[in-house]
Structure 1
Amino acid sequence: MDFLKSAVASAIAKGSSFPVSLGDRVDIGDSIWALHNGTRRSKFKFLIVHVSVQEDGSNCSVFTFDIGANKSRLPIAKNAVRKYRTLRHPGVIKVLDTIENETNLYIITERVVPLQWHVKRRSISEETAKWGIYAISSTLKFINEDASSVHGAVRASSIYTSESGEWKLGGFDILSSMKEDDAIIYTYGSLVPDAARFTPPEVVKGGWEAIKRHPLAAVDAYGLGILIFEVYNGNCSGGDQVGKTTNIPPTMQQSYKRLCAANPKLRLSPAHFVEQGKKQGGFFQTPLIRLTEDMESLGLKTDAEREEFIKSVSELQTSPCTLKANTSHSELDNLSDDFPEDFFKMKVLPELLKSVEFGGGGPKVLNAILKIGSKLSADEFNLKLTPAIVRLFGNPDRAIRVCLLDSLPLMIDNLPQKVVNDKIFPQITSGFTDVAPVVREQTVKAVLPIINKLSDRVINGDLLKFLARTANDEQPGIRTNTTICLGKIAKNLGQSTRSKVLIAAFGRSIRDPFVHARNAALLALAATIDSFTEDDCANKILPAICPALLDREKLVRDQANKTLDLYVQRVRKFASTMPETAIQAPTVSANEPPKSDARIGNSSDKSWAGWAISSFTNKLAAADGQIATAATAVSQAEEIPRSASVPQPASLSQTHPVEPFNKPLRKLAHPLARSQSDRPAPVVQEQDDWHEADDGEDVFDAWGAIDGDEEDGADAFTDAVSSPRPSLSNSTSKASAAPYDDGGEPDFAGWLAAKNQSKTKNALPKGLSKSSTTPKPTVKPKAVAPPKKIDTKPKDEDIDDGWGDAWD
């Protein structure tokens, strides 16, 4: 009915004053206590309306004892609470708080897990077992000798493991000081669960009072023997198994037997057991135990002792990130699976970080830190290592920087993208320009693990600028690694810069004097073939690969052939999908009568000059004036602009042949654009003169065998095409005395007459000369002949056939 009460009353009724939120219950077997996982709360905040309790999130464990259900065992429960409060030792469970009320007893401790879980699963490695047994033996030594007490219930169920993986001693139900005459162990020792199964032989015979007549440590020594048997065998069913050496390490068997001796006076005390194990070559001489001992007293060590500790830690690690290659393997590498990871995370890692940042631990210790950090979760890594790594990247020590760059693959997954892009990469960039080649090379290699954590702006901006520097580095190995790096990060480059950068970089590397740089460029081209268009493949990449086909090194030649084959196959495959031609077919109206194809120059003509003649004849057919004679057709044809590659026909009125041109044509305004009223009357010429031009002469002869001044001929051709051309006059000696009104057109006839007077007169070619008896027609200034339209219907004789005969 708590939900019906007020907020304050409800909080108090539900134990709002309790400093821990109870979680799941943990199975610990037969015990008078129930174990729960818990979360610690902060102090109360009393508000006007209600009482609020905040949780700080730290983990803890809570041992609870129900007084109503176990009244007979209440004395030993209260004894445990008292001993937990007063007994302090690194090997004992750390107590945070204890609470007693009328119904329950609570012991709030650090977060622990029962050792029995690992014992039942047989998941304890030999190295960890020795380390844990050593910790419990040392704790019992303290209880027996320094505290003059007897634990009385040493077994696997009394041992717990902390978050750091360390073994902690608990189960203080009957722990008693032998200085007390009324010690609780004498009266209530038998109330401990399973006491009969683990009780020493002398207690079975004479009761707990018998321990007064025997060595103080005899009971706990026997319990330590039971613990060792359980750790290596999983479970101990009774006293008949105690002392058996099954699965016990050979070096420990002799001392183990003495712990389990039936005669308590012959038993080896925990203190002597530790002493024998610590002898030279003893079973407690392990790297993990040595490291633990040094860690416990690191704060009390001198500088020289601290340096020795760092050196011992370094010996346990591989040092691949030092400037000189080191291929030796350490003990820690060989036993890394046996070592408790939590111990390194919680205990070793913080001390190593202090050593690197403030104690000059160097790259060896840094490598140990990064190896431990690779086993951390992302949250743990960001909490414990990320801030230190960001600071270390700014360290001027080149050895540390090289170690960090070499270890980036181990930690990059745990580093947030924003941290890498904004904090780490700006510090890495100094390595691209470092004076030490090893730093520059490791910086180039470090691009690969961090490329996915960089933004597009950084990749296509700063990164490419630095890689452009290393691509021209004086060290051939750095140039080669830059080429390999570009090939592997090609997919991360922007679409607008990818092909340009890769073609330029790989093209330069193909010409590199270092053989491996050339080979790397060819391999990179083969790997990034999908990054280029087919046009780039044909026009830029294939020409760059071809020189490598004749490289001095067979390694390069073989790779060049392989890469060339890949690109040729891609180009051919794309070419097979292209249309046969890109020329658009002319569209013919349905009502337009079909036109007869010319004998040459039509779309079906496959000769070398078919395209040129086709363009010429098509433009002739488009003229909208009437062709009275063949000569007039020639005159009008010259007025039509034509391609620079189309041969010019000979002018009927030109007395000096035009030399072959060597200047570019200027764009002409089409003469047919003038209105019909502005056009001059077409000049009519006799049909017989046209046929004379065909007799015994070929057009090619007239075009290609022009003599005279080349420069003047070129100038004449350029001047002729730079202005609109008037209709040709049939006069061969001089221009008409009465020029017509050409509306501002240049006086071509007058220019031609002046040109002829300045040079020696040459005879016109055969067919173009005119009879002296031919009367000179009189040109009327303003007489305009009515325009006639071209008849596009098929005729028996095609005017263009004369042009075709001239090219044959």
Structure 2
Amino acid sequence: MDFLKSAVASAIAKGSSLPFSLGDRVDIGDSIWTLHNGTKRDDSSACSVFTFDIAANKSRLPLAKNAVRKSRTLRHPGVIKVLDTIETESTLYIVTERVVPLSWQVKRRSLSEETAKWGLYTVSSTLKFINEDASSVHGAVRASSVYTSESGEWKLGGFDILSSMKEDDAIIYTYGSIVPDAARYTPPEVVKGGWEVIKRHPLTAVDAYGLGVLIFEVFNGQFSGGDQIGKTTNVPPSMHQSYKRLCTANPKLRLSPGHFVEQGKKHGGFFQTSLIRLTEDMESLGLKTDAEREEFINELDNLSDDFPEDFFKMKVLPELLKSVEFGGGGPKVLSATLKIGSKLSADEFNAKLTPVIVRLFGNPDRALRVCLLDNLPLMIDNLPQKVVNDKIFPQMTSGFTDVAPVVREQTVKAVLSVINKLSDRVVNGELLKFLARTANDEQPGIRTNTTICLGRIAKNLGQSTRSKVLIAAFTRSIRDPFAHARVAGLLALAATIDVFTDEDCAGKILPAICPSLLDKEKLIRDQANKTLDLYIQRVRKFGSTMADTVLPPTVPTEAEPIKSDSRPSNSNDKSWAGWAISSFTNKIATANGEIEPTAGVASPTEPDHTRSASVPRPAKSSPSTQLELPKHALRPTAQPLGRSMSDRPPQAVYEPPEEDEGDDVFDAWGAMDDDEKEVDPFTAAVASPSPSSPDPSANKSPAVPYDDGGEPDFAGWLAAKSQAKTKKPLPKGLGKAGASNVTVAKATPKPRVVAAPAKKIDTKPKDEDGDDGWGDAWD
């Protein structure tokens, strides 16, 4: 049988003259009609097609023709919307909006009480219209005559015996008994006296009884016969009284569908529900005052999730969109709209909501903009990337520079929602420019949120700009006067540690974190320690993988002596302390050389006593040097200072005087330079005394009984300097030849000495100590 039905349906679908194509069959059982899902050929929209096979049900053809005729003429929101009717020699077609039988949900008992009351209210209101306004009788009210539309609304159908009581030959009188399964649903008075008895009773009696049967089916699943009518099993208590009056055996005492609606609508009645009130107020939403609209939105927010979603998608949502865009619905209506829109599929969202959202982002209303930004997370998944990048984000950018702080702040927060829908060019170009503005915003909260935003979108930034931008932003944030901004900067650095290079971590980030360790706020100090530990661990880990040195290995040659472990210090200590002492000794030698520049260069032919007192003794690794000279030979004496220039080799005189400064610099780095060349000038000077200048004090006992082991004689140096200060220097050019090495050295260039008196300079003796004519060389 199923195979034959499918074959017939396929044959019908191939009819080229029909304006629709048939799809799956929907069996409803208790009807003379067969229901199919269909598609209109002109616009490919969904529809339903009721088909009647004339050859198979020829005896019920009058019922089918009556249904076709009444469907064309009866128009009401609670009635199935008929799109077209077609009559052929073999089949009758009624093309309607897409519907499904209510019997499916009734048999599964999947209806909630709120939805059931809402549907019964719709059917009761429709029956009131049929009975009172159309003066007609439906005659077959039951679950199989009710359908649900795509919006979830209940629609009344089954107009097989719908008759006007103004007609003397109404079809209900003749064919009412051949309706499928009529024995179960026929009122008791009709069972006894036939359909003609309805003329003697109230017009509403038959449909009131059918409404009672429908109530029982909706709450119990099925109706088996007249013995169940009037039972209150599973019927809501608030409906018991009215329900019993619908089912009473006396037709004159039955409550009409119109009165049933009135009782339900009374204060505290069973039809006083949020869903029913929403349905009634929805169509006039654009005309409501602000207070009435506020009440409507509150009702909408209070609706639970078990309400029919299809109704909100198909009916409520379009009305809300109209109110928002044209009726001044405001942010609250928009929030309700987007809440419903979040339950739409991607295709439905793009068709119904996306165009409206794009237009709303161009609306100058700040409250509307803030509402859109707040609800972006609910709708961003359904918005196409091209729409977000090309249409929505360009409208959003005005929020970064808006005068209202709340708009700027919400715009920064919304970046997290749209970042994955933006192109790399937009992210690394426009977006970073706007975030740079908000990072310097006058509002501390906006600066803080900008730092958080940058930390969370770090992975979306380009590699060429990521490190530069983030380091600048975060290090500036941890210097922000707002405490929470500093915390945000430290947290952002900790969260984005993987995006920085090891060199940046050590050279830029760690120095920036350190001041926060002594922040006045304990919260910041604690976070600074945590962040610092993370970066130190990373730097140490990277440092452990580095090579010990990048310098090439040094291979000694025959011309170079083997490097000795001894250094110009007071011991063989190779630790950092030994180098520190050696460095300090070099500084003393440089200072001595500045006062006596000619004594700073040692000649291999000079005797050992010409070496400066600040030069340390040679290392113990040179035994020959220590055996040849006694310790007191390293002490400075007055006799070498009285030597004339004729006693010195010509090489010791430096001309021109302008090069003295270069020699001083060389002397200052001499120790390091000599160490690199593996030559110890101090050892060489001690080991090779000059025979031409005998030291008269060489065989004398040391001036100081304490042997300092070659350490610099700071006490003697200070004493000599103090004695020099007490002596009043002579005018330039009047000094004795042997008074000072510095004076003799400056007097050597005779052309300069002769030219000096010709200049107009003050010859008054100067009080400055150490004035030895150093400046004459720069005249």
Provide TM-score, normalisation by structure 2: 0.73
CA change 1:62–1:395 in 2 (3 A) is same
1:556 to 510, 513, 524: 524
- Aligned pairs for 1:133-532 (under 5 A) are 133-296=120-283, 306-308=287-289, 311-317=291-297, 330-532=298-500
Amino acid across the alignment from 2:546: M
The alpha carbon displacement at 1:341 in A equals 2.1
Gaps of at least 5 residues in structure 1 are 1-9, 43-55, 318-329, 614-629, 633-649, 666-686, 709-751, 761-808
Question: The residue matched to 1:653 in structure 2 has which SS?
Answer: helix
Q: 1:699 to 1:535 in 2, by over 3 A?
A: farther
Q: 2:40 corresponds to which residue?
A: 40
Distance 2:12 2:418 in 1: 54
Give the drift of 1:133: 0.7
Deviation at 1:170?
A: 0.5
What is the CA-CA distance between 1:337 and the residue it aligns to?
Answer: 0.9
**1:277–1:283: 8 Å Cα contact kept in structure 2?**
yes
Distance 1:228 1:651, change over 3 A: farther
Which residue of the partner structure matches residue 598 of structure 1? Answer: 563
Q: Is the 8 A contact 1:314 1:368 kept in 2?
A: no
Q: CA deviation at 1:311?
A: 4.5
**What CA distance in whole angstroms lies between the structure 2 residues aligned with 1:577 and 1:13?**
76
Per the alignment, do residues 690 and 159 of structure 1 end up closer, same or farther by CA in structure 2, a change over 3 Å counting?
same
For normalisation by structure 1, the TM-score amounts to 0.70
Give, in angstroms, the shift of residue 13 of structure 1: 11
* Alignment match of 2:61 (pick from 62, 68, 74): 74
Give the match's secondary structure for 1:37: strand
Q: 1:755 to 1:31 in 2, by over 3 A?
A: farther
1:683 alignment partner in structure 2: none
Q: CA deviation at 1:756?
A: 5.8
The one-letter code of the counterpart of 2:425 is R
> Is residue 487–residue 524 contact of structure 1 (8 Å, CA) maintained in 2?
yes
The AA in structure 2 aligned to 1:457 is R
Matched, 1:580 2:580: no
Mapped partners of 2:562, 2:508: distance in 1: 42
Over 3 Å counting, the alpha-carbon distance change for 1:409 and 1:663 in structure 2 is farther
Q: 1:552 to 1:464 in 2, by over 3 A?
A: same
CA contact (8 A) 2:275 2:303 kept: no
Residue 688 of structure 2 corresponds to residue 691 of structure 1: yes
Partner of 2:670: none
The CA distance in 1 between the partners of 2:270 and 2:407, in whole Å, is 44
> What code does the residue aligned with 2:410 have?
Q
Give the one of 85, 94, 100 matched to 1:98: 85
Question: Which SS does the other structure have where 2:169 is aligned?
Answer: coil
CA distance in 2, matches of 1:24, 1:457: 49
Paired with 2:566 and 2:313, the residues of 1 have a C-alpha distance of 88
Identity among equivalent positions (%) equals: 77
- Given that residues 293 and 329 in structure 2 are in contact (C-alpha distance below 8 angstroms), is that contact kept between their aligned partners in structure 1? no
Q: Which one of 58, 74, 81 corresponds to residue 45 of structure 2? A: 58
Deviation sequence 1:674-722 (CA, Å, 0-9, x none): xxxxxxxxxxxxx9998337999999999xx9x99xxxxxxxxxxxxxx
- What amino acid does structure 2 have at the position aligned with 1:93? I
Q: What is the rounded CA distance, in whole Å, between the counterparts of 1:13 and 1:520 in structure 2?
A: 67
- Distance in 2 (CA, whole Å) between partners of 1:158 and 1:547 is 80
Distance 1:200 1:586, change over 3 A: farther
Pair 1:255–1:11, CA change in 2 (3 A)? closer
Q: Which residue of 1 aligns with 2:636?
A: none
Tell me if structure 2 keeps the 8 A contact 1:218–1:264.
yes
Contact 1:112 1:160 in 2 (8 A): yes
Q: Secondary structure at the match of 1:474?
A: coil
Cα deviation, residue 573, structure 1? 1.8
Contact 2:12–2:22 (Cα < 8 Å) also in 1: no
In the alignment, the residues of structure 2 paired with residue 688 and residue 261 of structure 1 have an alpha-carbon distance, to the nearest angstrom, of: 137
Contact 1:84–1:172 under 8 Å retained in 2: yes
Residue 375 and residue 337 in structure 1: after superposition, are their counterparts in 2 closer, same or farther (change >3 A)?
same
Query: Structure 2 vs 1, CA of residues 701 and 296 (structure 1 numbering), >3 Å: closer, same or farther?
Result: closer
> Secondary structure, in 3 states, of the residue corresponding to 1:240?
helix
1:118 aligned partner: 105
Q: CA 1:137–1:449 in 2, change beyond 3 Å: closer, same or farther? A: same
Distance 1:487 1:312, change over 3 A: same
Give the SS at the match of 1:82. helix
Mapped partners of 1:13, 1:473: distance in 2: 67
Q: Match of 2:651?
A: 653
Give the superposition deviation at 1:662. 7.0
Evaluate the alpha carbon distance shift between residue 663 and residue 74 of structure 1 in structure 2; reply closer, same or farther with a 3 A threshold: farther
CA 1:115–1:13: 2 relative to 1, 3 Å: closer
How far residue 259 of structure 1 moved from its aligned partner, in angstroms, is: 0.8
Gaps of 5+ in 2: 1-9, 583-601, 605-647, 668-683, 699-708, 722-744, 754-779
